Structure 1
């Protein structure tokens, strides 16, 4: 890739569920911004993604002790991906997996472990610099009730049930809703979505909200 060229897979800053995030929320400065690609996006289905909500009072299973996630599976859209820990960049935003690993899902490792009490954050690319699909290419096809499984290093599998899929304009991104913790084990999957321009890249972020409903 030529020096200075940016793509949607080169930097997708997602904001962590952490003390730093809480401080940013207080300041009202939290935004998710997707990068810029030099070619047309492979599809625009995420632009039409709506939302589906479920009863938030449904009981959940007992939270797990923290353990690193190893693999993420979403049978409904054919995802079976390794997970990699991501940290923060110089600007204080969580990194996504390296552009050379578009099939990986990233986990913000300084936040909540999937299955533990709190909100775990997983990020992934929608597409690649060459226009191919990323790990979350079909994320907008998920609907309420779909299952997300995350295998962990402790040999337990956290099973989450999707309760909502929403598309948020990045200029009006609801940070507290996305990153805030209910105290229950929850999961957010985040990727790019919505309209696209070569100048600004994707204009929105697709967020999947899920709650822990089983442990195997």
Structure 2
């Protein structure tokens, strides 16, 4: 990795300041049993109102109070992702650059066999400050496995490599994975701003044979390797 930029603050472009509420719900996984991680509507920003506490203000100090600077982890400069590689589970895929549908929901990769994963272009590029978001299928049409079928096999410490358009590679280390019901998805935890550069890999989980739908999402959390 190279060209680090310790000063840039990231996170989803729609939500950048403290006191901003991210509103996002992950819904169904697409038609039938494709295992598409339909990520619903992207986060929208809503400024939180503040109200002064009653009573007299505290007296001002006689001299300015120094506020210590908080060091943030170094990150990479902006560069869009090209390929994703996870050697531990044999994943090597080109990355689609997808944004929003006309209805405001996140677009998802196609469902055919061998379909690549996608990077949500409303999130930071991999290596920038904040969570870079990637989506992929858990299975595909015709009973084939999807590109993210093996996410559950990833363990803490596993490396994930993202090749970028500027020729650099952002190397992330898996921190943990978690399964969430689509009805109780922790939006802020998954999509909210982070001090350093992080990666989120999202797919479907919790397949219900009765409905032929996926009720859950599975999320891998990874951090930029120092």
- TM (normalized to structure 2)? 0.71
Give the whole-Å Cα distance in 2 for the aligned partners of 1:162 and 1:150: 13
Question: Which of 81, 93, 102 is the aligned partner of 1:81?
Answer: 93
| Distance in 2 separating the partners of 1:112 and 1:149 | 16
Higher helix share: 1
Give 5+ residue unaligned stretches, structure 2: 1-10, 36-70
The equivalent residue for 2:141 is: 129
- Which shifted more, 156-165 or 59-68? 59-68
Tell me the distance in 2 between the aligned counterparts of 1:32 and 1:38.
14
* Contact 2:114/2:146 (<8 A) preserved: yes
Confirm or deny that 1:92 pairs with 2:104: yes
1:7-32 deviations in whole A, cap 9, x for unaligned?
xxxxxxxxx9441799xx84755234
Q: Secondary structure at the match of 1:96?
A: coil
1:89, distance to aligned residue in structure 2 (A): 1.1
Q: Which moved more, 1:171-180 or 1:82-91?
A: 82-91
Q: Does 1:211 align with 2:223?
A: yes
**Pairing 1:1-216 to 2, within 5 Å after superposition:** 17-19=12-14, 26=21, 28=23, 30-37=25-32, 62-100=74-112, 102-199=114-211, 201-214=213-226
Q: CA deviation at 1:197?
A: 3.6
Q: Which structure has the larger Rg? A: 2
What is the DSSP-based 3-state SS (H/G/I as helix, E as strand, rest coil) of the residue aligned with 1:65?
Answer: coil
- Tell me the matched-pair count: 179
In the TM superposition, what is the alpha-carbon distance from 1:37 to its structure 2 partner? 2.1
Query: Residue by residue, what CA displacement relative to the aligned partner does 1:130-157 show, whole Å, maximum 9, x if unpaired?
Result: 1101110111111111110000000000
Alpha-carbon separation, structure 1, partners of 2:182 and 2:16 = 16
Task: Check 1:120–1:104 CA distance in 2 against 1; reply closer, same or farther (3 A cut).
Answer: same
**1:79-130 CA-partner distances (Å, limit 9, x unpaired):** 0111110111122121122224643110011221001111100000111121
Matched residue of 2:203: which SS?
Answer: strand
CA distance in 2, matches of 1:64, 1:186: 11
Distance 1:161 1:97 in 2: 24
Contact 1:17 1:121 in 2 (8 A): no
